[in-house]
Amino acid sequence: MKKKIYAILLLLFVLIIGGYYYVYYPAINIHKTSFWTGVVVICIVMGLIFAINSIRYKFDKNQKIKNFSYLPFISKMFLSLAVVLFLVAVVGNVIGSPLLRAKKYASLLKVETKDFASDIEETEHITDLALMDTESARIFGNRKIGSLSEVVSQYEVENDYTQISIQKSPFKVSALKYASFFKWWNNRQAGIPGYVKVNPVNSDAEYVELKQGMKYVPSAYLNYNLMRHVQLKYPLKIITGYYFEVDDEGNPYYICPTATARIGLFGAMDVNGIIMCNPVDGACQYYKIADIPSWVDNVYSGNLLCTKYNWAGTFSGGFINSIFGQKDCKQTTDDFGYKIIGDDVWIYTGVTSVNGDQSNIGFVMMNQRTSEAKYYVVSGAEEHSAMAAAEGEVQEKGYVASFPSLINVGKVPTYIMVLKDNGGIVKMYAMVNVEQYNIVATATTQNEVFSDYKKLIKSKSSGNTDDIDTETTEAVITVSDIQFINTEDGTVVYIKDDNHNVYKQNFDENELLIKISVGDTIKVVYEASEDGINYLSSYEFVTDATKSEL
């Protein structure tokens, strides 16, 4: 009878453990705290199972329990093992704490100090900055899917958009997801039919339909759930999450970074590789850090990189200094932006002193694939102060600024950001001087905001502006049409010549534009634009004498 009871209890316990493992699929790894918790609980339960008869006998005889000598050996063994494992976990956690290993934490990220003006390429046009935030990307993506009736009835767009580089250009991508369990059940054989790709530079959204559907995705159930599928294939790996990416040919993959503790048992969790999953057929491949394909962008998350920088910035002088003296302690600001350099995605964030003042002492750029870090000494306004300055320029419109990126305009550190309305739609662009954040330019186009900002720098900046050049072109044109268009920002004058070129200027900048009529011949000075609508700087009428000279 005793053996039968043991067998029933053990079988029931094994079924419970198996069900728990399938539902939650925890990593079987000594660097995971939940693993130690699970093992300790299993040992305690096993010890109690084998002690159940002895405990029942004591209660049946109304005997007092003074010690545990009456327990069988196997029960004592499991309970003792639980105590030992608990103590090992506690000691391992203490050994890996910053209190004892602060210098080790500080050494986990190698930060190289660079010169801003020489290391950051000068920017003329926004082609490598992801100015659009995830919230705006969701709006454009949902609008695109909303126009596809055969898709929107069965699928939704995942909330998470991944910032990637496709052929050295920034894009935000997100896979579709099943709208419910029943819609997964009805479509599980075909899979997810495509994904959304949003250009964060010009706000274009595109739905990409796949030749074969994605079956192993986060919104699927049972064995088709992405995280369950990957974790069960690699039960010993600690998988920190997943990122949806596409390669340069548009093929979809899920990138699942794996992690391990660098200090002690649980301290300084850091990426040690990735598992790449093909969501079409479920094929998985593990890559060590050195072997990761170059097109993969999301290995180290922006939050992890900021955490590692903060370890380096606060613990380099020791743990005591990080709490009391805080000499030379610095930390990142509370958000970050993205920039494409070559074929990699880098995050950018400002660096402040730990005292929490409202200014930056520099900024850091970190590579999301390699964790390479570069620090630049650039003093000035922190990002939220710059955002407030940009919003103040258009406060009557109620626009909200996105988190800015930092660019080099004629060797002058400059914030650039978008301004959004209440619906999350990009309405304007803003540029703010880092060192003098009262120098702010706003405009409805990128070309215009660059032009206005350069003029402001030349007229107001006390720094070195010799390298700030606004390239202009001169031409003699015959006016074929002139239009005065009223906009939210005032009246804009559009002039078309007989070759269908267009030149525009704000009327309040030059009221003499009212003198121009169709048929006039004028000499224009303008800044050329890629979209063919050039920015007019000045003009003068061409007389008959001037015509003969020309």
| 429-472 per-position pLDDT tens digit | 999 999 888 899 998 878 788 888 888 887 765 444 454 555 77
Average of per-residue pLDDT across 293-298: 95
Neighbours of 362 (CB within 10 A): 17
Is 50 exceeded by the pLDDT of residue 550?
no
> Which of the pair, 319 or 506, is modelled with greater confidence?
319
Could you give the CA distance from residue 42 to residue 31 in angstroms, rounded to a whole number? 18
Residue 146 has pLDDT above 90, yes or no: no
Tell me: pLDDT of 54 over 80. no
Which residue ranges make up each domain of the chain? 2-95, 111-121+304-378, 134-299, 381-460, 473-549
Of 513, 520, 518, which is closest to residue 546 (Cα–Cα)?
520
Spatial separation of the C-alpha atoms in residues 367 and 387, rounded to whole Å: 24
User: Using CA of residue 17, residue 20, residue 21, residue 27, what is the dihedral sign?
Assistant: negative
- Point out the least confidently predicted range of 32-46, 65-79, 184-198, 358-372: 65-79
What band does 178 get if pLDDT is binned at 50, 70 and 90? very high
**How far apart, in whole angstroms, are the C-alpha atoms of residue 348 and residue 342?**
15
Measuring CA to CA, how many Å separate 136 from each of 158, 184, 204? 14, 27, 11
Taking residues 253-257, report their average pLDDT: 98
Reply yes or no on whether the pLDDT at 230 is more than 70.
yes
In angstroms, the CA 233 to CA 277 distance is: 11
> 3-state SS of 366-383?
EECCCCCEEEECCCEECH
473-549 carries CATH number 3.30.70.2660: no
Per-residue pLDDT tens for 338-393?
888 888 999 999 999 887 666 899 999 999 999 999 999 988 888 999 999 999 99
**Cα 432–470–405 angle (5° rounding)?**
30
- Residues 318-334, mean pLDDT to the nearest whole number: 90
Higher pLDDT, 168 or 15: 15
Task: Reply yes or no on whether the pLDDT at 488 is more than 80.
Answer: no
Cα torsion angle, 370, 375, 378, 379, sign: positive
Domain spanning 381-460, CATH class: alpha beta
pLDDT of residue 406: 87
In this predicted structure, the answer to whether residue 311 has a pLDDT above a threshold of 90 is: yes
Per-residue pLDDT, 548: 47
Query: Of 126-130, 138-142, 415-419, 507-511, where does mean pLDDT reach its minimum?
Result: 126-130
pLDDT tens digit string along 72-112?
888 889 999 999 999 999 999 999 999 999 999 999 999 99
Nearest CA to 154 among 126, 125, 187? 187
Neighbour-count burial of 493, counting CB atoms closer than 10 A to its CB (0-12 exposed, 13-18 middle, 19+ buried): buried
The CA–CA distances, whole Å, from 326 to 209, 316, 323, 380 equal 54, 10, 6, 21
pLDDT at res. 203: 76
In whole numbers, what is the pLDDT of the chain averaged over residues? 88
Tokens for 54? Answer: 């002895």
Q: Do β-strands 337-341 and 169-178 pair in parallel, antiparallel, or remain unpaired?
A: unpaired
